[in-house]
Structure 1
Amino acid sequence: MRDRTIDDFLTRLAARVPAPGGGAVAALHAAQAAALVGRVARHSTGEGYAGHRDTLAWVATEADRLREDALRLAQADTAAFTAVAEAHELPQDTEEARAARAVGIARALAAAATPPAEVIGVAQVVVELAEELLPVANRTVIGDVAAAAEAARAAATTARVKVEINLGGVRDELVYGELTAAAARVPTLVARAERLTAAVREQIAA
């Protein structure tokens, strides 16, 4: 994921291949959201922001960490869905083979639900950082706070769909509960992102 150009990624995304797909897109939404938060924090420097220096430095550092996490999850999602495709290709010429194939597919689907669930967590923290940033951010780049919120919202809502798609393959009750809990956090996250965007738009219009 790191070494591909944007054009190469989009070409593969549009191709008839197992991955990348929507899960990787969700992770990249989250990575872009984190990068935008880091951008705003780094543009909020100088004497006028001296009283918030520690907060801004912390936000920038956390945003960098989240960007790395999201990129890792994009790669993990791609690998997971490649494994799902490979499981579907397992032999099914005997009863035993068919049983083994079913188990393999179920395990692969369960594994494929994990990266998007983690993307939701990344998106949530990005929104929290954006909330911290908004009151102290440089007004000339405040639009990027809203852009970050919207990208995080897209990450979360897209990831939720990918989690839900794969829940049918999850047999472990504990894992199932963790995944459904992650998906259940999305409406609150969406509402917070919407409030951030609305607040930015109000400041722009003022």
Structure 2
Amino acid sequence: MNKGYEDVLSSISSSNPTPGGGSVSALILSHAHSLATMVARLTSGRDKWSDGQGIAEEIISKSEESIETSLRLAKEDALAFDSVMNSYRLPKDTDELKETRKEAIFDSTINAASVPLEIMHEASNLLNDIINLAKFGNLNALTDLLGSAELAYSSSKIASLNVRINLDSINSGDQKDDLKAQVLELTLLTKERYEIINKIIMERLQWK
């Protein structure tokens, strides 16, 4: 395991602009899914936590696909930003080439903003599942579940930064306005869901 982690960290810490924050946010999300799945497995099949069986099984059934989606988004984010960089390198010797370059920059930047936005959606969905597991899951693993929620929330916050910085580089328009509205909505939603989880777990642990 350490070797794989070392390779990933080496790639992130290189002087290359990718993989960057967007990819890292997706990798964080994959860890959040993994940790939530562990808690679900520690809940599943245990009579003491019978009320949590449904959500535990649901999380387990989705875990492989969810983790794969997170890893796919990590790759896609790096590729999307590489595409933006390549668009800026296009020739601009004539008016026609300038227009082609301008369109390429716009399209690639919208795509580069859309990938971390998808990460935010995925993080929000996971937090919604964690709410239900927090209510009825294995009491002995609640700190791990809160750790998962912290990771998912952090993933969403980092992803939002990447959406916003990409949108800042393009002129206003319907697509930009729509993406900005989605970021705001997801930012509020993930914060609300994280706070609900934190409250539930603190009360169950009697840490309030």
Alignment TM-score, normalising by the size of structure 1: 0.87
- 1:91-123: CA deviation from partner (whole Å, max 9, x where unpaired): 233333333222211111111111111111101
Q: 1:203 and 1:18, CA in 2 relative to 1: closer, same or farther beyond 3 A?
A: same
Give aligned pairs, total. 202
Q: Is the 8 A contact 1:28 1:74 kept in 2?
A: yes
> What one-letter code is carried by the residue in structure 2 that aligns with 1:11?
S
Question: Unmatched 5+ residue regions in structure 2?
Answer: none
Q: Is the 8 A contact 2:120 2:160 kept in 1?
A: yes
- 1:71-91: CA deviation from partner (whole Å, max 9, x where unpaired): 111111111011111112212
- 1:145-174: CA deviation from partner (whole Å, max 9, x where unpaired): 11111111111111111111112437762x
More off after superposition, 61-70 vs 77-86 = 61-70
More off after superposition, 57-66 vs 119-128 = 57-66
- Deviation (angstroms), 1:65: 2.8
- Deviation (angstroms), 1:36: 1.3
Q: Is the 8 A contact 2:27 2:70 kept in 1?
A: yes
Q: Percent same amino acid at aligned positions?
A: 26
> What one-letter code is carried by the residue in structure 1 that aligns with 2:35?
L
Residue of structure 2 equivalent to 1:200: 201
Q: How does 1:29-48 map to 2 (within 5 A)?
A: 29-45=28-44, 46-48=46-48
Report the Cα distance in structure 2 between the residues aligned to 1:58 and 1:140, rounded to whole angstroms.
20
Q: 1:63 and 1:179, CA in 2 relative to 1: closer, same or farther beyond 3 A?
A: farther
- Deviation (angstroms), 1:182: 2.3
- Deviation (angstroms), 1:10: 1.6
Q: Secondary structure at the match of 2:19?
A: coil
Q: How does 1:100-139 map to 2 (within 5 A)?
A: 100-139=100-139
- Deviation (angstroms), 1:195: 3.2
RMSD: 2.1
Q: How does 1:36-185 map to 2 (within 5 A)?
A: 36-45=35-44, 46-167=46-167, 168-169=169-170, 173=174, 175-184=175-184, 185=186
Q: Is the 8 A contact 2:20 2:78 kept in 1?
A: yes
- Deviation (angstroms), 1:52: 3.7
Q: 1:73 and 1:99, CA in 2 relative to 1: closer, same or farther beyond 3 A?
A: same
Report the Cα distance in structure 2 between the residues aligned to 1:72 and 1:172, rounded to whole angstroms.
29
Q: 1:85 and 1:194, CA in 2 relative to 1: closer, same or farther beyond 3 A?
A: same
Report the Cα distance in structure 1 between the residues aligned to 2:178 and 2:66, rounded to whole angstroms.
20
Question: Unmatched 5+ residue regions in structure 1?
Answer: none
Q: Is the 8 A contact 2:120 2:156 kept in 1?
A: yes
Report the Cα distance in structure 1 between the residues aligned to 2:146 and 2:171, rounded to whole angstroms.
35
> What one-letter code is carried by the residue in structure 2 that aligns with 1:196?
I
Alignment TM-score, normalising by the size of structure 2: 0.87
Q: Is the 8 A contact 2:32 2:151 kept in 1?
A: yes
